[in-house]
Amino acid sequence: MDLVIYLNGKFVPEKEAVVSVFDHGLLYGDGVFEGIRAYHNRVFKLKEHIDRLYYSAHAIDLKIPLSKEEMEGVVLETCRRSNVRDGYIRLVVTRGVGDLGLDPRKCPKPTIFCIAASIQLYPEELYKKGLEMVTVATRRNLPEACNPRVKSLNYLNNVCARIEANLAGVPEAVMLNQEGYVAEATGDNIFIVKNKVLITPPPSAGILEGITRNTVIEIAGQKGIRVVEKLFTRYDIYNADECFLTGTAAEIIPAVKLDGRTIGDGRPGRMTWELIHAFRELTKVDGPLIFQEEGSRAASGLG
């Protein structure tokens, strides 16, 4: 089945989903986006993703012409049109079409599109064995420059770090902030476990405040696991009992080695597995239904 894409108020076939070469999202990375997951006929943490999209847009003075409720409807309907019950959703708002200059005032109308498809960020075996990481030279953007809390279309900072990981022959990299503290991976947040305490960098470290990150913190609290948001260095990862990454596409994936140093016993840890299991259970019940009656397109009114 061909994908059906939402584009500026219409649902069109994938081949017809095109944007102008004068769109400032393409020319300058001027825009915001969300990566969202659908599980078991539900869109996971949809409200939280939509809220973050609007926060990011407001931070760059990008006015979205749809209400949050309308945008949620766009996401759900895009999933229905492409018959996606389990998959990955990319929701994008660009500054829109303008001229070849930087001035956003020359872009009278934002471009909005939504894609529902599939994604596999890491091979399944890495979830069982854990992945290896390296620390890269590329530092995370300064909050005073392009604030990492804005989920913008300009991901070149992350791409440069990923190139370094590729050249090192490993699937992921740790990025430090300007002070040398651990910020995050190239596209995921990072957690370590030390003496049964779950530790992750605070937003002030220069990170994207991830939806999956916040979900893991909530789950840990419900399980009575102590969670601490604080600055730490590579030394703390080297000597951690466990380490894992979190992200919408990655979910929760164990990390077992950094810069050639084995983390813990070199295998995914007990707390990591406990959180993975709890997260997967939550995906079965959280979020609005895509099709009101599973397996019945008639119930969706699409026929």
Looking at the annotation, which residues are catalytic?
A: 151
Number of CB atoms found within 10 A of residue 179's CB: 11
**Whole-number Å distance between alpha carbons of 74 and 186:** 28
SS3 readout for the chain: CCCEEEECCEEEEHHHCCCCCCEHHHHHCCEEEEEEEEECCEECCHHHHHHHHHHHHHHCCCCCCCCHHHHHHHHHHHHHHCCCCCEEEEEEEECCECCCCCCHHHCCCCEEEEEEECCCCCCHHHHHHCEEEEECCCCCCCCCCCCCCCCECCCHHHHHHHHHHHHHCCCEEEEECCCCCEEEECCCEEEEEECCEEEECCHHHCCCCCHHHHHHHHHHHHCCCCEEECCCCHHHHHCCCEEEEEECCCEEEEEEEECCEECCCCCCCHHHHHHHHHHHHHCCCCCCECCCCCCCCHHHCCC
